[in-house]
Chains A and B, each alone.
Chain A
Amino acid sequence: MNVNQQAHMASPYRQPQPALQGYSQPGYGEPPTQYAPYNGPNPGYQQGPAPAGYFPYSSLPSKALPATLASDLSSNSSSPLDLGPVRPSPNSGPPPMLTPQGYSQYTQGDVQNGPPTMSGQPHRPPVSQPYLPGSQPAYHQHYGAPHTGMQQMTNQMSGMHVSAPPPAVSGYAPSSHPQTSVSFSGVPSFSVSSQQNSPAASLTHGQPPSQPPFPGSPPLSQSPFPGVPPPGSQAQYSSTPPLPVSQPQYSSTPPLPVSQPQYASTPPLPVSQLQYSSAPPASSQAHYPGAQPPPASQAQFSGSSQTSPFHAPSSSFAPPAGAPRHPGVQPMQALPHSQYLSGPPRQPMQGPPLSQQNHVAPGPPQPGMAPGMQGPSAQPAPPGQGQGVHPHQNGAFGQMSGPQPGYGGSYPGPQNYGAQPPPPAAPPQKRLDPDSIPSPQVSELPAVQKTRHRIDPDAIPSPIQVIEDDQANRSSEPFTTGVRGQAPPLVTTNFQVKDQGNASPSYIRCTSYNFPCTSDMAKQSQVPLAAVIKPLATLPLDEVPPYIVDHGETGPIRCNRCKAYMCPFMQFIEGGRRFQCGFCSCVTEVPPHYFQHLDHTGKRVDCYDRPELSMGTCEFTATVDYCKNNKIPQPPAFIFLIDVSYNAVKSGLVDLICAELKTLLDYLPRESSEADSCIRVGFVTYNKVLHFYNVKSSLAQPQMMVVSDVADMFVPLLDGFLVNVNESRAVINSLLDQIPEMFADTRETETVFAPVIQAGLEALKAADCAGKLFIFHSSLPIAEAPGKLKNREDKKLVGTDKEKTLFQPQTSFFGNLAKECVAQGCCVDLFLFPNQYVDVATLGVVPSQTGGSVYKYTCFQVPSDGDRFLNDLRRDVQKQVGFDAVMRVRTSTGIRATDFFGAFYMSNTTDVELAGLDCDKAVTVEFRHDDKLSEESGALMQCAVLYTSCSGQRRLRVHNLSVNCCTQLADLYRNCDTDTLINFFAKYAYRSILNSPTKTVRDALINQSAQILSCYRKNCASPSSAGQLILPECMKLLPVYLNCVLKSDVLQPGADISLDDRAYLRQLVTSMDVAESHVFFYPRLLPLQKLDVEGDTLPTAVRDSEERLSKGGLYLLENGLHLFLWVGANVQQELLQSVFNTPSFGQIDPSMTNLPELDNPYSRRLRAIIENFRAQRPRYMKLMVVKQDDKLEPIFKHFLVEDKSTSGGASYVDFLCHMHKEIRQLLS
C-alpha cells in the first residue's frame, strides 16, 4: 500500500517538483499548516536523509502496511505463523524475535499484533515484504519487524501512515536516529515517504551503496538516498517489483544479514523474503509483486524500519536494532504500536504512526532535521540529497509538520481537501508528495528523481493490492463461521462459507468484529458499530440455502422475555429442560416436544441434527399467529403498470415491455418445490387516466376498464384483474398484443403517478394479498391528480443550504401513500424512462419505503438501452422476494440496534417493515451501547425476518452472529472491515443530506474518519512523529474509499449531473450491500491487453487513475451500474481486430452497447468477462465503448476515482494529505 501510495503521490507531486526548489520552500511555506506534518518530515529528511528515505516508506500510509509487511515479513520469516491461524502469537512471537532487529518495535508490534491480528497480518505481510526490500538494511529490520507482524497487525494499523516524520523524527531520531530511520522506513507516512523516499530512495539507491552507507553512517546514507533511494523506496512501496534498482538495493540490503535472513527464514512469504534476501535485484522485484499488498504495508513499515536501517541505522540499526530491538519492542507490544519504534522503545511509540518522522528524525541529521523539519530544514534536506527528495518529504509530510511556511504553498492544496480541493493547491502538494513517492513504479533513476517531488501514488495504500492480497490469502480455504469475532475475507474475495453457528458474511457483515466493551471506548474510537444485513441474499451455488425448520403448531421456540428465536447462542441447562437466552439471559422452559438430553459438554445430543442449534442461519416456518390478521396469507400478486403516454409509446418502450412480458411471465418466482408459480398477475396501463384490464380466463378477449377519476382511485373490477398466468395465457397474450396497437396513436403527453400506485395498492387490498407493483413511468406527473408534481429542478440551489430540499419529496403525499403500501405489503418497483426532470426524489419515496427499487433509463432508446432495461426487468421479476416482511434485530444486553438504513419503513423504533424484501436489498443497522459488554460473552445479534414467501407461506428467517468484545482499542481496530464501514458511512451521509447541507455532511464524514484514525494513532500506534500518517492495517483504505464517497455525485455534484441522478443514486446506495457499495465507490478497472484467454482468471485490476491507463491498452471498468470499455489510442491493430472486427481505432463505433460476436479466443474471453461482470451485479450494465480522447471520455474519467474530479473532488493523494492534516490537528 504505502508503496503504491507513495508512488502515486509522487507522480502528482512530481509535476510540481520540477521546481523542486520551489517546492522546497516556497510551496511549502504556505502549506505548512496543512502539510505541517509533512514539514515535520522534511526536517526529518534533512536531518537524516536516510530518514527521509524512511519516510517515504513510512510515509506510506500503510504503517499498517508496513506492519503488515512486517507481519508478512515476519510471516515470511514466520509467515507460517501469520498465515497460520496462529498468526497471532506464533508469528508475532517468533517474528518479533526476529524483528527484534531494528524493529524491535515491530517486533513488539508483531507480538502484540501477533496474537490479535492474526488475520490481519497475513494480508499485509506481503506488502510489507516488498517494502522491506526497499529498505535494504531496513528490510532486515523491517522484516524483522514485520515478522513481528504482530506489530504489523496493530502497528500496521498504527504504522499506517506516518506522514510527518520529521518533527517527530527529530524527537525520535535523536534517540535512535538509526532506529528512527528505521521508523521512517516503517513510517508509512506519505509525506515522510516522500521525503524519505528521497532519502529512502537515496538509501535504497544508496543501498546498494547504502549498505556501505549504512555502515558508513547517516551521511552516507543520505548520499545513497539521493542516488538510489527513490527507486529503491519506490520499488519497495510500489511493491512494483520490477524496479531493478531497488532490487539491487535490496540486494544491497541483503547485506543486512539479519533482516534478510529473517525474511528468508520466514517461510510463508518465501518470495518476498527471497526477494529481499535472495537477490536484491530481481528477487526484490519479485518480492514486490509477490507480496504486493504486504509490500506496500511493509514498505511503510519496512520503510520505517528499513529506513531506519538504511539511514544511519541501516547499518547499525539494521543489524543491531533489528533483533534486539524487537525483543525490546516486544515488551512494547503491550503497546502494539510501539513496534515500529525504530529505536526499540521509541520506535514502537512513534513507530508506526510517526515512524517516518522518526525515521526522518533518525536521520542522524536529526538536529538538522529538526530545523529542517520545520521548514527550512526540510528544504535544506532536499538540496542535500535529491532535492527532489526533500521536497517530497516536505511535500508529503514535511510540509505537514513544520516547514509549513515553505510548504505551505503547496499544501494549501490539502486545505482544499478539507473544504474542497482548490485545484491550484493540489499541484504543489503533489510535488511534495512526489518527492516522497518517487517513482516506485519506475525504478529508473530518472523516474525517481521526478517522483521525488510528489507523493508517489504507488506509495500510498492501494485498494488493488489489498484486494489482491486478500484474494490470494483467503479465497483458497472456506471461511468457517464457528469462531466468534472472526473477520471474514473482503467482499471482493471469492470464498466459500461454512456455516458453523454464525451467519455467513453473505448475510451479515459488521464494521468491526470486535466491539468495544464500553460505550466510552466506542465513543473514543468513533468507529461506528454497524452491520449490513442482507437477509435474503442469494448464496453462491456451492452453498446450501438455509434449512427450513418446523417447530410444529406452537411455532418457533423463543425466549420468554426477549422473544429471541432458538439459535446456537441458547444455552441448555438443567439437563436440557430449560435454556438460557444468550441475549437477555432469561431462562425458559423447553417445551416437551423439543426436549432433548445434553451430552457431557452441555450440548444437546441432537445439536447437529437441528439447523437452528448448529447453524448461524436458518428459516422457521411460521404459524398462523405470525400472519396478518391471523389469516394464512394469499399468494402474492405482481401488477404491471405501464405508462402509455406519448413519450413512452414513441420511444418504443410500450412495445418492448409488452413483448417481453409475454415470455417473462413464465418465469415468475416460485418455490423450488413447485412446478408453477402461485403468483397472480394483473395489468394496468395509464397516462392521464388508468386502464385496468380484465383478463379472466373465461373471456374471449380482454376487457379494458378506464378509470379517469384519478383523484379518488379505486379498482374497477374484482374478478379477472389478478389472474393465474397459465389459466389466462390466451387472454393475456391477446392483451399484450393489443396494448401497443391501442396506444400507437396516442397524443396524450400528461401522466399521473400517485394514482397509479394507489391503483395497485387498492387492487392488492381488494385481493387481500401482498404483492409487487412494476411501474414503468416516463415523465413528471403533471396531470391534475393527487401527487401532482411541478418541475422544481433548480441548479442554483446546489451547494446552498437549501440543497437538501431537492432531496426531499415535494409533498408529503407520497410518504403517506408509502405507509399505506407497507401496511398492505405492497412493494413498488419503479422503472423510469425520463427525457427530462422527473423528480426522482419524490417519485422514489414509495419505492424506497416499500423495499422496492428504482431503475432509471434517461433518454431511453430501444437500440441503446433496450437490453439493459430488459435484463433489469427480467432479473427484477424473477428474483426471489419476500413480502410483507418485518425485520427485527435483537442483540445481547449491552448494545442495541438504534439506527437503520435501507429501503423500508419504520413505524416504531425497532421493527423494520418491508412491504417487499428481495435478495438484493440490504439493511444497514447501527448499534450503540446502552450498557457494558463483556469480553467473555461477546456481543450477539440475531436478525429475524418474518415474511411471506412467493408461494404465500409465512416464514421466519433468522440470522445469528456473534462478535468479540474488547477492552483494548487495538483489538477493535484490528478487526474492522473498511468496506462495511464505507457502506455505513455512505448510507449515513446520504441520509444526512436530507437534513443538512452537503458540505456539512462531508465535513462530518471527514471529521469522524479523522477521529477514528487519530484515535488509533493516539492509542494504538507506536509513537512516532506527528508528521507521519499512520493508518490501522484494517483501515488503510479508509481514506481512499472515503474520498470516493465524498466526491461521489451525490455529495459533490459536478455541473453535468442532474438532480434526478443524484436523487437516484442516493436512493440506490441506501439499500446496497457491501459488495455493491464497494464497487460502486471504487470501480473495478481491469486491464485487458494481457488477457488470459484460456483460463478463467481475471487480470489483476489496476487502480482507478488515469495514470494507470496505457495508450496501448484496453480497459474494462465497472461500478455496478456502468460498464466501460476504454480503448487506448495506440491499441494494436490485431487487438482491435479481434475485439471490434475493425483494424482501425477510428472505425470503432462508440455507440455500440455490445461487442460483436467474433470467433476468436480473445473476443470470446472478453465477452465472457463482460457477461460475468453483468451476472455479478444486481443491475445489468450497459457497455459503453470509450475511445481515448473521444468525447465520451470525460464520462469515463469520472469513474477514475483516484484522480481529481472535474467536480472538485480531491485526488486520492490530495485527500490523504488532507486527512493527515486533520488527524494531526486532532492529535495536537
Chain B
Amino acid sequence: MATYQEFIQQNEDRDGVRFSWNVWPSSRLEAAKMVVPLSCLFTPLKERPDLPPVQYEPVLCSRPTCKAVLNPLCQVDYRAKLWACNFCFQRNHFPPAYAGISDINQPAELMPQFSTIEYIVQNGPQTPLIFLYVVDTCLEEEDLQALKESLQMSLSLLSPNALVGLITFGRMVQVHELSCEGISKSYVFRGTKDLSGKQIQEMLGLTKPAAPVQQGRPAQPQDHSVSSRFLQPVHKIDMNLTDLLGELQRDPWPVPQGKRPLRSTGIALSIAVGLLEGTFPNTGARIMLFTGGPPTQGPGMVVGDELKTPIRSWHDIEKDNARYLKKATKYYDALANRSAVNGHCIDIYAFALDQTGLLEMKCCSNLTGGHIVMGDSFNTSLFKQTYQRVFTKDYNGEFQMAFGGELEVKTSRELKISGAIGPCVSLNVKGPCVSENETGLGGTSQWKICGINPFTTLGMYFEVVNQHNAPVPQGGRGAIQFITQYQHSSTQKRIRVTTIARNWADAQSQIQHIEAAFDQEAAAVLMARLGVCRAQSEEGPDVLRWLDRQLIRLCQKFGQFHKDDPNSFRLSESFSLYPQFMFHLRRSPFLQVFNNSPDESSYYRHHFVRQDLTQSLIMIQPVLYSYSFYGPPEPVLLDSSSILPDKILLMDTFFQLVIYHGETIAQWRKAGYQEMAEYENFKQLLQAPLDDAQEILQTRFPMPRYIDTEHGGSQARFLLSKVNPSQTHNNLYAWGQETGAPILTDDVSLQVFMDHLKKLAVSSAL
C-alpha cells in the first residue's frame, strides 16, 4: 500500500479533503487525548476537471432526519432494488428510474471513484448572476480614474446576461438607474441615516404598490420592470454604464483643511444589501465594494472626520479607546448576516495608504464568502490584476465563482459535527449529528457559503462520540458526507456530494496506526484556524498560551522521551514538522498584531481561514527559494542562515513575494554586470527568480505584493521579519557561525523554541 502521504494526497485530489487524522480513534476519550481534534479541511468545490456533472438528481435516504445521498459506501441489494443508508441504516427503495441497475450497470454515484459527484439540478427559474458595484468617490483623482477604468474593463469580463448595478458614495450615496436615456438618473441617500431594508426598498420604489404580501416567503424575484431600473443585463447597458462610469466625478463636497472626506460606506453597503434583498433574494449576487478610505460618517463609521484623531490602532483597541469599533462592527455584522441570509456575497476592495476599517467590515466578507483585497492604491497593478482575477474562468470558460452555497454534513453515528471555521454562516439546522460542543461555527449541520470558489476551504471539526465501552468492530469505518448545493456561475443549480470514510482504530492498541495517519500539515492549519478563531475574541497572549499548551500536550502524547531528559525527546516523522509550523504560526501576523494595523490583521486572518491547505501553509511558514551560481534553485530553510551574499532569495509569504539579492549579488547588479554579454549567466541568474515570481503572481488571488529588494534595502524587512532568527545581535559572536545575516530581534529562534518545547514536554511537572 502506498504511504499515508500518497493516500492523503489522493484523497485531497479526489475529494478536496484533508483530515488531521486519517485513522480515527474509536472512542471519545481517546479522541480527546489526541490533542489535535478530529477535523478536516474541506474544499467543497475543488476543481475537478475530470468530474463531469451528472444531469439528474441525487437519490436521498427516505428517513426524514437523514436524507443522506446515495453513495458508493452504501450497501445495495440489486435484486431487491434496495439500498441501505450508510449513515442511518435505513433501507430505501431505488426510485423508478433506477429499475435497470445491477452490479454491472451501476449509476455513477455507486462507483467508488465517484466518492465525489456533482449533480445538476433543474428547478426553478434561472437567475443571472448579479454584480453590484459600490464605488467610493472620495478618492484621489488618479485613483478614481484607475478604478473607473478597471470597472469599465470588468464589464467586458462579465457574461452578457449578468445583471449589473452601480452605487456610488461619498458624502451621499447614489444608486444609479441604468435604464434611462438622455438623462442619467440616480437615487440619492443621505450618508448618515440608517435605513431598514424595507425603507430602502420603498425609497427606491421597489415595493410593488398593490401586490398582496405573501406570507413567509419573500416574493419571488419578480417583476423585473421594477428592479430593472437598477440592475440591468450587461449587454443592454454596456455603453450606458461605461459612459456613466466615465463621467463619475470625485465627491464634489468640499473637504475642509484638516478633515477627512465624509464617506458613507456604511450606508452604501446597507443600501446595496437592501436593494438586492428586495429584488433578488436567494440568488447569486456579488456586492463589490471599492473603497479608498475609512467610513467617516453615519452608521458604520470607523473614525471621525477630524484628521487629528487617527484611526484606531491595536493599542487603542487594547486600551478600549476605539470609540466606534463596537458599534461599527455590530453594524457591519448585522449587514453581513442579512446579506448572507439572502445568499449575496460582499467583496471589499480597500485600497488606501491608511486603514480603511477592514477590522470593522471584515465580517461582511467573512460571513458571505466575499473577497477582501487590501492595497495602497487603486492605481496599482495589485488592484488591477487582482480585480481582473476575480473574473477568472475555469477550463469550461465559466467563472470560478459560485454562489449561495449550502454545505450540509452528515456523519455516521460515532461522530458528530461540532463546527466549521471558514467563510460561512450557520444555517442553524439542528440534527442528530450535531455535537453539543461547538467549535467555530457550531450547533448546526448546515452552513451557508454565499460566495464560494474552487479554493474556498472550510475547516470542519468533529467530535467522536462513541463511548469507550462500546468499541467499534474491527475494520469498522466511519463515514462523513458533505452535500454542497450551490449556484454555478452558469446559473445552474448544482449539488456536489462528497462521501468519505476512514477506519476506526483503538487508540490503545493501535496508536501507531493513528500516529502514522496523522497529517501534520492539515493539523497545523486546522489548529491554526482554531487559534485564529480564538484570536478574534481573546487576547493575543492567551491564544499563544493555548497554542503552546496544545503543542506541548501533543508532544507529550506522541513524543518519545525519557522523563525530564530533553535530549531524549524524539518525534516520529509524521509529527516532525508540526512544532516548526507552530513556531512560525506563533510569529505569524495571524496571531501577532505587533507591527500590524488592525486592518492588516483582519486582512490576513480573512485569507487564512479560507485558503486551502497549501496556501495556508505558505502563510504559516513562508517558502524560501535560493538562487545561486552553484546549482538550480532550491528551497532553503526559512532561517537567517539562508541569507547569503552570493544568493538571490525568493520568499513567498502568500501576501508578499520578496526577491532579495544578497550583498554581493546586489553589488554586481549595481555594477551592471548583467548588461555585459560576458556575464550573461549573471543576467540569467537575476532573471530566474523574477520568472518564478511572475508565475506565482499570475496565479494567486489576491495578487501578492511584489517586493524586489537587496541586502540592506529597507524592504528587506519583509524577509528579515519572517526568517527564523537563528542569528541575532545577541548570539552572533557567541555562535560564531560561518555565514548568514544577523537579525536584530529579541524574538526567540526556532532552536530556542524547540529547546524549551522539549524541556516542557519531558517535564514531569506537567
Task: Give the B-binding residues of A (Cβ under 8 A).
Answer: 689, 691-692, 699, 701-709, 712, 714, 716-720, 734-735, 738, 741-742
Tell me whether B185 is interfacial, beta carbon within 8 Å.
yes
Cβ contact within 8 Å between A712 and B187: no
The proximity string for B residues 162-190 relative to A, scoring 1 for CB distances below 8 Å and 0 otherwise, is 00000000001010010010111111111
Q: Please state if A703 and B182 are interface contacts (CB–CB under 8 Å).
A: no
Given A708-B187, A716-B172, A735-B183, 4 new contacts (CB under 8 A) = A705-B188, A707-B188, A709-B193, A716-B174
Pick the contact of A704 from B183, B195, B252 — CB < 8 Å? B183
Is there contact, CB below 8 Å, between A708 and B182?
no
Can you name 16 A-B pairs with beta carbons within 8 Å? A689-B187, A701-B182, A703-B184, A704-B186, A705-B185, A705-B186, A705-B188, A706-B185, A708-B205, A709-B195, A709-B203, A712-B190, A714-B190, A716-B188, A719-B252, A742-B180
Q: How far is the CA of A702 from the CA of B184 in the complex (A)?
A: 7
Question: Which residues on B sit within 8 Å (CB–CB) of A699?
Answer: 247
Contact (Cβ within 8 A) A701 B174: no
In the complex, A706 Cα to B206 Cα: how many Å? Answer: 14
Nearest A-chain residue to B249, judged by Cβ: A719
B573 touches A (CB below 8 Å): no
CB atoms of B205 and A689 under 8 A apart: yes
A704 to B247, CA, bound (A): 14
Q: Which residues of A contact B7 (CB under 8 A)?
A: none
B141 close to chain A: CB less than 8 A: no
CB–CB A705/B252 < 8 A: no
- Knowing A716-B174, A718-B253, A719-B252 are in contact, say whether A703-B186 is a contact too (CB < 8 A): yes
Residues B198-240 near A (CB distance < 8 A): 202-205
Q: Using CB atoms, name the residue of chain B closest to A748.
A: B205
- List the B residue with the shortest CB-CB distance to A731: B183
Interface residue from A709, A712, A717, A738 paired with B183 (Cβ < 8 Å): A738
Shortest CB-to-CB span from B610 to chain A, Å, is 36
Question: Shortest Cβ distance from B397 into chain A, in angstroms?
Answer: 37
Question: For window 470-527 of chain B, which residues contact chain A by CB distance below 8 Å?
Answer: none
Please, which residues of chain A bring their CB within 8 A of the CB of B185? 691, 703-706
Considering the chains assembled together, what is the distance between the CA atoms of A228 and B253 in angstroms?
89
Min Cβ gap B189→A in Å is 6
List the A residue with the shortest CB-CB distance to B244: A703
Q: Write the nearest CB–CB distance from A695 to chain B, whole angstroms.
A: 10
Residue of A nearest to B201 (CB): A708
Q: Is the CB of B183 within 8 A of A689?
A: no
**Interface residue from A707, A717, A718, A720 paired with B187 (Cβ < 8 Å):** A707
Give 5 closest A-B pairs by Cβ, nearest first: A708-B203, A716-B188, A706-B187, A704-B185, A705-B188
Which residue in chain A gives the minimum CB-CB distance to B209? A747
Nearest B residue (CB) for A702: B183
Contact between A692 and B182 (Cβ–Cβ < 8 Å)? Answer: no
A707 to B205 Cα, complex, angstroms: 11
B186 contacts A706, C-beta separation under 8 Å: yes
Residue contact B203 to A689, C-beta cutoff 8 Å? yes
Q: Once the chains are docked, how many angstroms separate the CA of A903 from the CA of B598?
A: 59
Per the bound structure, the CA–CA distance linking A709 and B190 in Å amounts to 8
Chain B interface extent, by class: 20 to 34
Which residue of chain B lies nearest to A688 when distances are taken between CB atoms in the complex?
Answer: B205
- List chain B residues, Cβ under 8 A from A692: 188
Q: Please indicate the chain B residues that have their CB under 8 angstroms from the CB of A703 in the complex.
A: 183-186
Q: How far is the CA of A1046 from the CA of B203 in the complex (A)?
A: 49
Residues of B246-286 contacting chain A, CB below 8 A: 247, 252-254
Q: A742 near B183 (CB under 8 angstroms)? A: yes
Quote the shortest CB–CB distance from B8 to chain A (angstroms).
Answer: 57
- Which partner residue on chain B sits nearest A703 by CB separation? B184
Provide the residues of chain A in CB contact with B203, threshold 8 Å: 689, 708-709
A55 to B172: give the CA distance in the assembly, Å: 81
CB distance from A713 to the nearest CB of B (A): 9
Q: Which of B18-41 contact A (CB under 8 A)?
A: none
Closest B residue to A710 using CB positions = B203
* Bound CA span A717–B188, Å: 9
Task: Assess whether B252 is in contact with A717, with CB atoms less than 8 Å apart.
Answer: yes
Q: Mark B101-139, 1 if CB is under 8 A from A, else 0.
A: 000000000000000000000000000000000000000
- Complex: chain A residue closest to B203, CB-CB: A708
Complex: A535 Cα to B183 Cα, angstroms: 43
CB distance from B290 to the nearest CB of A (A): 20
Bound Cα distance A699, B184 (Å): 11
Given A708-B202, A709-B195, A716-B174, are A738 and B188 also a contact pair (CB < 8 Å)? no
Chain B residues whose CB sits within 8 angstroms of the CB of A707 once the complex forms: 187-189
Inter-chain contacts of A704 with B (CB < 8 A): 180, 183-186
Q: Which of B174, B180, B202 contacts A705 (CB 8 A)?
A: B174
B186 contact set on A, CB distance < 8 A: 703-706
A734 contact from B177, B182, B195, B202, Cβ within 8 A = B182
Closest Cβ of chain A to B634, distance in Å, is 61
B289 smallest CB distance to A (angstroms): 20
Minimum CB–CB distance from B264 to chain A (whole Å) comes to 12
Q: Is the CB–CB distance between B188 and A701 below 8 Å?
A: no
Bound-state CA distance A709–B247 (Å) is 25
CB nearest to A720 among chain B residues: B252
A735–B183 CA distance with the chains assembled, in angstroms: 8
A701 CA to B246 CA in the complex, in Å?
A: 14
**Which of the listed residues A691, A706, A718 has the most CB atoms from chain B within 10 Å of its own CB?**
A706
Closest to B188 in A: A716
The residue of chain A having its C-beta at the shortest distance from the C-beta of B184 within the complex is: A703
A735 to B186, CA, bound (A): 15
Complex CA gap A701/B182 in Å reads: 6
Bound CA–CA A704/B177 (angstroms): 10
Specify which chain A residues have a CB less than 8 angstroms from the CB of B174 in the assembled complex: 705, 716
User: Is there an interface contact between B193 and A701, defined as CB atoms closer than 8 Å?
Assistant: no
Measured CB to CB, the closest approach of chain A to B650, in angstroms, equals: 50
Please, which residues of chain B bring their CB within 8 A of the CB of A734? Answer: 182-183
Interface centre among B187, B193, B202 (most CB of A within 10 A): B187
Chain A nearest CB, measured from B90 CB (Å): 54
Bound complex: CA A716 to CA B172 (Å)? 7
Are B204 and A708 touching (Cβ within 8 A)? yes
Using CB atoms, name the residue of chain A closest to B189: A709
Docked pose: A1097 CA to B366 CA in angstroms: 88
In the bound complex, how far is the Cα of B187 from the Cα of A932, in angstroms? 65
Contact partners of B183 in chain A: CB under 8 A: 701-704, 734-735, 738, 742
CA distance A813 to B183 in the complex (A): 35
Bound complex: CA A720 to CA B247 (Å) = 14
Complex-state Cα separation, A718 to B172, whole angstroms: 11
Q: Output the least CB separation between A925 and chain B (Å).
A: 43
In the assembled complex, the CB of A408 is this many whole angstroms from the nearest CB of chain B, namely 67
**Nearest chain B CB to A984 CB, angstrom units:** 47
Chain B residues with CB below 8 A from A709, complex form: 189-190, 193, 195, 203
Find chain A residues with CB under 8 A from B253 CB: 718
Give A15 Cβ to nearest chain B Cβ, in Å: 62
Residue of B whose beta carbon sits closest to that of A719: B252
The residue in chain A whose Cβ has the minimal distance to the Cβ of B173 is A716
Contact partner of B184 (CB less than 8 A), chosen from A701, A716, A719, is A701
Q: Which of B184, B188, B205 is the most central at the interface, judged by chain A CB atoms within 10 Å of its CB?
A: B188
Q: Which residue of B lies closest to A717 (CB)?
A: B252
B187: A residues at CB distance < 8 A: 689, 705-708
In the complex, the answer to whether A712 meets B205 with C-beta atoms within 8 Å is: no
| Minimum distance in angstroms from B135 CB to a CB of chain A | 16
Please, which residues of chain A bring their CB within 8 A of the CB of B177? Answer: 706
Contact between A718 and B184, CB atoms less than 8 A apart: no
Distance of A1099 from chain B, by nearest CB (Å): 55
Query: What is the CB-to-nearest-CB distance from A618 to chain B, in angstroms, rounded to a whole number?
Result: 41
A738 engages B182 (CB within 8 Å): yes
How far, in whole Å, are A705 and B185 apart by their CA atoms in the complex? 6
Identify the interface centre among B172, B186, B193, B205: most chain A CB within 10 Å of its CB: B186
- What's the minimum C-beta distance from A762 to chain B, rounded to whole angstroms? 11
CB <8 Å contact, A712 and B193: yes
The residues of A that contact B188 with a CB separation of less than 8 Å are 692, 705-707, 716-717
A718 touching B193 in the complex, CB below 8 Å, given contacts A692-B188, A706-B188, A708-B204: no
> Whole-angstrom distance from the CB of B63 to the nearest CB of chain A?
51
**Distance A702 CA – B247 CA, assembled complex (angstroms):** 12
